[in-house]
Amino acid sequence: MPVFWPLPVEQDQNEYMRQIVRECRELLKQPLPDTFLGRKTYEPFPAETDTTPNEKG
């Protein structure tokens, strides 16, 4: 059975793809970014009453 050795161009391309995979794996290991969704960063205003301050009652 003949053995086929990769061409130098293929070796360069394979190493390039391996480097991309290494970088992607490092990115995936990082924690998720903070998107502020669902985070309560303020206290809501108090509920308004039915009467306004200008009403005479």
What is the per-residue pLDDT across 10-53, written as a single tens digit (0 to 9) for each? 999 999 999 999 999 999 999 987 777 777 777 777 887 766 66
SS3 content of the chain, % helix, strand, coil (to 5): 40, 0, 60
> Residue type for 20, please?
I
Nearest CA-CA partner of 9 in 1, 23, 17: 17
pLDDT at 50: 66
Residues listed for the chain: 57
Average pLDDT over residues 4-13: 87
Rounded Cα distance between 19 and 13, Å, is: 10
